[in-house]
Amino acid sequence: MDRNKAMTHILAEPSPYCAAEPAAIETHLTTIFAGEEHPWSDPPACVPAFDQPTTPDELAFLTAPITPLEVSFRLQRMKNTAPGPDGARYSGLRRVDPGCHTLALIYSRCLRIAKVPAAWKESTTVLIFKAGDRENLGNWRPLTMKHHEMKSYTFKVFYYMKSSTL
């Protein structure tokens, strides 16, 4: 049993299911997360344009094929969290492609054609009960579960941004 499941088992009962109608949940979440239109304007001259890498080294880093080692590095550090809509877990990805060669090829192709599979953009949202009145949708926290393939694919850009001196 993992640590999170053990703590849930020891300290509390599992989160109950939300009994609200799906239409009411959708209306509630849409209202909460609906933003206002932002009055966009051109950035000041001192802000560099981020539409393209600014140096040849940045461009080379961002467009280099993703290696099996990079994929393996990422998958080894991922906790085996709840799966996304496809039901795949990180442990399953590691078991099916232990050398990470297939995932590296898929990720490199996505990078080269600047597209990812449409399914990777889908997610599953579950509601986790916080406290208080269970009838009040404000007492439920939405938790979105994305495809693990998409999360591990985006690591390359995230790693670059984190290590960049911009």
What are the sequence ranges of the domains in the chain? 62-161
Asked if residue 82 has pLDDT above 70, the reply is: yes
Tokens standing for residue 29: 């979440």
Contacts (Cβ under 8 Å, ≥6 apart) of 130: 139, 140, 141
Q: Over the stretch 112-145, which tens digit does the pLDDT of each residue have?
A: 888 889 988 888 888 888 889 989 999 998 888 8
Whether 7 shows a pLDDT value over 60: the answer reads no
Contact of 105 with 84, CB cutoff 8 Å: no
Q: How many CA atoms lie within 13 A of 159 on its CB side?
A: 13
E strand residue ranges, the chain: 123-129, 140-146
* Gap between the Cα atoms of 70 and 156, Å rounded: 8
pLDDT band (50, 70, 90) for residue 15: low
List pLDDT tens digits, range 88-106: 888 888 889 999 999 999 9
